[in-house]
Structure 1
Amino acid sequence: MTSIQTEIFTCVLSGDVESITGYFEREGVTDEAQEKDMCGMKDEVGRNALLTGCMLGRSDVVRELLTHGARVDEQTVRGYSSLHLAACWGHLQTVRTLLELGADTQAETFRGERPVDLAQRYSRTDCADCLILAEAKQDLMSYVAFVKDLVSDPEKNLTKEEKNICTRACSAKSDWIQSVKHSTVSDFIAQRKDIENTLQPILSKLSAQCKHQQHFCIALKSLHNVGTILY
């Protein structure tokens, strides 16, 4: 390990975010960070600077490390991510910071536990509620992305009007996600249900096409097998 890795790790332990900023802003340090993991020093159980900062609930330190290249979803050998550690130690602001910066809510430990599972197991109610809301939001966003992919796939044979319906529905939900304040899990579930209902006829049509194509492929394969036997 390098001396700067040791210094950064020490600053994380003490919460000295100003010194960490200084290390990254120092001439030449930024280039070095791109070539070498400056947060790579680990403690005796495999926690690096970011993971340690999350365990301690040092949100400002965490944001600084992530801004300068730390990997938000890096996990220990047992699968504990930054979000797992912040959640199970009950650091709500750190959980929010990690979610804002793209942490994976579905990462699993060696026991198959997600961050929300640890928050619930250790009765970190605020963190659990925050993560459940984040998962509901991500579920809606993933569904919107799924529909957008359908629209852009030329093999789906959607009509112009069907594409317009899908595009308008996705835009409406994206705008809602961006503008809504003080949303609840129920709000996101309702929005997901609404877009599903709006697009149900189109998706049913695509599902029927897919089943037809699968049956055609099975029939074609059967004919091929029969031909192989005959000849």
Structure 2
Amino acid sequence: MESEGPPESESSEKSIFFSQQEEEEEDDNEEEEESKEAEETATINPLLPPALTGDVEGLQKIFEDPENPHHEQAMQLLLEEDIVGRNLLYAACMAGQSDVIRALAKYGVDLNEKTTRGYTLLHCAAAWGRLETLKALVELDVDIESLNFQEERARDVAARYSQTECVEFLDWADARLALKKYIAKVSAIVTDTAKGPGKLFKEDKNTILNACRIKNEWLETHLEASINELFEQKQQLEDIVTPIFTKMATPRQVKSAKSVLSHGQKRS
């Protein structure tokens, strides 16, 4: 079984990519054979040394210098996977090489791709306690809600390995995402009346859109906002939006009464 947890010792950077603390239910002999196969494959990959040591310039030369002997195969080498589906981006995560992740992201790699057991780069960084790498991945807009084969998010994996700082950061990232998603949801509803619960008056529409704009601007200018502040901003927006949506969904009784009155006058 695949393991995303940290090794007992980090004395050898290269061992990071191959040797990890295994889950209790794993067959040790089978895993040992798999690790040996993975090591034999990965040691010939010329991207591995710069990925583990943070040599961003060395990686860029391989990707961008046509004269480099590995240039044409650079992307293939980057995406080359071991037997459990980990490529060199996972090696960089385990080694905590945030700048390497940022550099490689520019070449169009999928930062949300999963291993055979559903682990993402974020899961990996969380398990190994690589806080700065987690921050880099979140800045790169990875999916923080992605689940592994045990239905765990990266936050859950961090908690399982007692990576307290990572848990706290991912809780913060989740609160920030919740506000962003709510703003996007509300904006989509008011700009597409077919999705809304009823007719939206122009004044109410402008009120909501203006509130959403203000909250988006707040997010952009308060990058270090606390979890409580993020929750407060979301609640403030809900306090504006909810009464309007409730009014939209409520039958307009006044109009119905006028209609009845008009009908009665015609009969008389």
Per the TM superposition, whether the score is higher than 0.5 is yes
Identity across the alignment (%) = 36
Cα distance per residue 1:194-214 (max 9 Å; x no partner): 1001111112134457xxxxx
Aligned length: 204
Structure 2 CA distance for partners of 1:77 and 1:207, relative to 1, 3 Å: farther
**1:158 aligns to 2:200 (yes or no):** yes
SS state of the match for residue 92, structure 2? helix
Q: 217, 237, 262: which one pairs with 1:195? A: 237
Structure 1 counterpart of 2:208, one-letter code? C
Structure 2 CA distance for partners of 1:98 and 1:33, relative to 1, 3 Å: farther
Deviation at 1:126, TM superposition (A): 0.9
Cα distance per residue 1:42-76 (max 9 Å; x no partner): 22432101122112211111111111112110110
Deviation at 1:182, TM superposition (A): 2.9
Within a 5 Å distance, the mapping from 1:106-117 to structure 2 comes to 106-117=145-156
> Please, what TM-score do these two structures have when normalized by structure 1?
0.81
Q: Which structure has greater helix proportion?
A: 1
Structure 2 CA distance for partners of 1:204 and 1:90, relative to 1, 3 Å: same
Structure 2 CA distance for partners of 1:105 and 1:38, relative to 1, 3 Å: same
Deviation at 1:78, TM superposition (A): 0.4
**1:98 aligns to 2:140 (yes or no):** no
Structure 1 counterpart of 2:160, one-letter code? R
Structure 2 counterpart of 1:95, one-letter code? L
Aligned partner of 1:79 in structure 2 is: 118
- Root-mean-square deviation (CA, aligned residues, Å) is 2.4
Contact 1:136 1:185 (8 Å CA) reproduced = yes
Within a 5 Å distance, the mapping from 1:30-45 to structure 2 comes to 37-45=76-84
Contact 2:66 2:72 (8 Å CA) reproduced = no
> Aligned equivalents of 1:65 and 1:95: distance in 2?
15
Structure 2 counterpart of 1:68, one-letter code? Y
Structure 2 CA distance for partners of 1:207 and 1:27, relative to 1, 3 Å: farther
Aligned partner of 2:29 in structure 1 is: none
> Aligned equivalents of 1:146 and 1:133: distance in 2?
20
**1:141 aligns to 2:180 (yes or no):** yes
Structure 1 counterpart of 2:47, one-letter code? I
> Aligned equivalents of 1:166 and 1:27: distance in 2?
52
Aligned partner of 1:11 in structure 2 is: 50
Aligned partner of 2:22 in structure 1 is: none
> Please, what TM-score do these two structures have when normalized by structure 2?
0.70
**1:183 aligns to 2:222 (yes or no):** no
Structure 2 CA distance for partners of 1:207 and 1:33, relative to 1, 3 Å: farther
Deviates more, 1:133-142 or 1:63-72: 63-72
Q: Which has the larger radius of gyration?
A: 2
Deviates more, 1:50-59 or 1:11-20: 11-20
Contact 1:12 1:53 (8 Å CA) reproduced = yes
> Aligned equivalents of 1:86 and 1:17: distance in 2?
19
